[in-house]
Amino acid sequence: MEKDKAPSHATYTRAQLALRNGQDKPEVWIAYKGTIYNVSSSRLWKSGKHYEHWAGQDLTDELEDAPHTDTVFGKFEIIGKLVP
């Protein structure tokens, strides 16, 4: 179950997402399957990097081989949708 639902009108561009990389702004966001999540509360994302994955981008393709399922995102706040 997802923690928080974003308003249906909250959309962000890839450029806006890129600013939430843990370095340019204090927020750490990632996108997965068109949904943007705030992973700032995760100790694993504190530096804006989680293993070889960088925050501020769409990680859909990169997470195909992750050792966890996408249910891991259920504990993070949904920020909005990524504009295609």
Domain ranges in the chain?
Answer: 11-82
Give CA torsion, residues 5, 22, 62, 16, to 10 deg. 60
pTM assigned to the model = 0.82
Q: Which CATH superfamily is domain 11-82 in?
A: Cytochrome b5-like heme/steroid binding domain (3.10.120.10)
Q: Residue count of the chain, please give it.
A: 84
CA distance 55 to 21: 5
User: What does the pLDDT look like over 1-58, one tens digit per residue?
Assistant: 445 555 556 999 999 999 999 988 889 999 999 999 999 999 888 888 887 888 999 9
**Which pLDDT belongs to residue 6?**
55
E-assigned strands of 13-56?
A: 29-32, 35-38, 49-50, 53-54
State whether the Cα torsion 4-18-59-54 is positive or negative. negative
Q: Encoding tokens for residue 19? A: 């600013």
Three-state SS at 79:
strand
What is the model's pLDDT at position 8?
59
